[in-house]
């Protein structure tokens, strides 16, 4: 429900998730249906297995929503929008999806503010699942700024291309410890255990698999993983479990919005300094307190005209990582265009002055980000794009809602890029050896990324991998 020209990630993901099976996708919005149809077919290839229907409807009118067959749907997705629009659509749906004959219809939505989150009892009654977008985006921004490429990794893990998360029966795994299962499972990586109605992501290495358990795996499909009968490889003689600490330098935050609190909380502790530019006074005391809580990280507040190239250059010269936040007080397009001009200038300064800082930019709309090309040192966290990925996963895998919530929340296990050297996984090792070393440090190894190369997920157990200390491991774990 809801359609925005230029925003096609959600539809594309649902098509990919169909995996060739017949499916009907109905799109309802306050827009001419022929116009919607033309926009979509001009930008997305619709395969023969997909029946696409566009409906021009008032998405706030419960009776009009029946034109979209909401009562007969497998799931209903509210396209990423502002909180008031999303809430009004959810209220309209609650008038329709509350009868016994459609109680299994699932509803997924994204909201930004906790104030607009449906109360638990109402959400449960109408089968509504909402994710908090701003907190999730803020977390990804904080981690991406010191781990360049992490936003791309999030996109790869949460889209339907390549490997995904599945819950599968534990055939052949009963009696094994989680570490033994990690060493023996090929064509899939064990990431957790489903037991007594709940998922344990990244459980203890000594946890013993029971016959009635299901295994949470990261794999190309739910049928790929196999448990081999090969011997567990010998202990790595160089292993010490003495992970090196990574130093991250200076982080500069340009602008501020309500997400800045979460960003400071999620930044690593071993920073040299945090510089805030053009931050409203209302945030300053809180920023200072949060920095103190993280170990008395020095904080500096600057107020300057960032359209002045010389001022921006001086700021860039002092920075190792630059975060550009969106202005949530302005409409999406205005905020994004201001961000685009700022990024263009920062890229120009980086090239002219031979600097090597990385840029992490928050943008609101997918079609605006597409105007800028990607490069190795610039990460774009696009709110509508990320939200669409999460919504598609919720729609396709409702049984994994608690897992997605944990990976996307500020507590529990999360996705990280860790330097191979810090987890003693550099040099020449098999994937099985890397799995074990990472697990001993508390992480599930799901892939790796070499500098200037694409990410590689779920390598075969016996694949020999050579990693430099600065190459990245893609892992799930707790900090």
Lowest mean pLDDT among 113-117, 158-162, 297-301: 113-117
Percent of the chain residues past pLDDT 70, beyond the cut: 95
Q: How confident is the model at residue 136 (pLDDT cuts 50, 70, 90)?
A: confident
Average pLDDT over residues 222-237: 78
pLDDT tens, residue by residue, 284-316: 888 888 888 877 789 999 988 888 999 999 999
Say whether pLDDT at 98 is over 90.
no
Which whole number is the average pLDDT over 160-184?
A: 92
Sorted by sequence, the CB contacts under 8 Å of residue 85 that are 6+ apart come out as 2
Amino acid 239: pLDDT: 58
How large is the average pLDDT for residues 29-37?
A: 95
Whether residue 416 is predicted with pLDDT greater than 70 in this model: the reply is yes
């Amino acid at each position: 429900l809801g359609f925005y020209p230029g925003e096609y990630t959600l539809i594309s993901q649902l098509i990919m998730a169909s995996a060739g099976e017949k499916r009907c996708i109905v799109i309802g919005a306050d827009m001419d249906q022929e116009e919607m149809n033309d926009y979509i077919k001009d930008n997305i290839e619709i395969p023969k297995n997909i029946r696409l229907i566009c409906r021009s409807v008032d998405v706030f009118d419960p009776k009009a929503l029946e034109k979209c067959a909401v009562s007969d749907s497998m799931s209903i997705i509210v396209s990423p929008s502002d909180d008031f629009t999303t809430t009004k659509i959810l209220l309209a749906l609650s008038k329709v999806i509350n009868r016994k004959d459609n109680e299994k219809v699932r509803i997924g939505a994204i909201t930004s503010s906790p104030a607009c989150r449906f109360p638990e009892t109402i959400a449960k009654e109408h089968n509504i699942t909402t994710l908090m977008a701003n907190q999730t985006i803020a977390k990804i921004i904080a981690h991406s700024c010191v781990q360049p490429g992490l936003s791309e990794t999030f996109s790869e893990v949460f889209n339907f291309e390549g490997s995904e998360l599945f819950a599968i029966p534990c055939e052949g795994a009963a009696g094994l410890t989680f570490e033994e299962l990690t060493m023996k499972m090929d064509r899939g990586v064990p990431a957790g255990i489903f037991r007594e109605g709940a998922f344990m992501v990244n459980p203890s290495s000594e946890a013993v698999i029971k016959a009635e358990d299901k295994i949470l795996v990261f794999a190309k499909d739910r049928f790929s993983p196999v448990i081999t009968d090969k011997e567990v490889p010998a202990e790595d003689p160089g292993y010490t479990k003495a992970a090196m600490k990574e130093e991250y330098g200076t982080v500069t935050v340009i602008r501020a919005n309500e997400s800045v609190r979460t960003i400071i909380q999620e930044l690593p502790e071993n920073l040299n300094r945090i510089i805030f530019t053009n931050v409203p006074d209302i945030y300053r005391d809180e920023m200072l307190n949060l920095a103190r809580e993280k170990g008395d990280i020095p904080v500096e507040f600057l107020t300057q005209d960032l359209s002045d190239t010389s001022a921006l250059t001086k700021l860039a010269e002092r920075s190792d990582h630059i975060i550009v936040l969106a202005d949530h007080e302005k409409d999406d397009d205005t905020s994004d265009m201001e961000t685009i001009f700022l990024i263009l200038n920062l890229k120009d300064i980086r090239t002219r002055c031979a600097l090597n800082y990385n840029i992490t930019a928050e943008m609101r709309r997918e079609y605006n980000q597409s105007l800028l090309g990607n490069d190795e040192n610039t990460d774009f966290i696009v709110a509508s794009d990320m939200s669409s990925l999460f919504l598609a996963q919720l729609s396709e895998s409702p049984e994994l809602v608690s897992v997605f919530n944990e990976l996307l929340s500020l507590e529990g296990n999360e996705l990280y890029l860790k330097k191979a050297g810090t987890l003693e996984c550099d040099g020449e090792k098999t994937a099985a050896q890397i799995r074990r070393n990472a697990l001993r440090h508390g992480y599930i190894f799901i892939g790796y990324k070499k500098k200037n190369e694409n990410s590689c997920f779920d390598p075969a157990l016996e694949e020999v991998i050579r990693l430099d200390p600065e190459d990245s491991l893609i892992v799930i774990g707790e900090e």
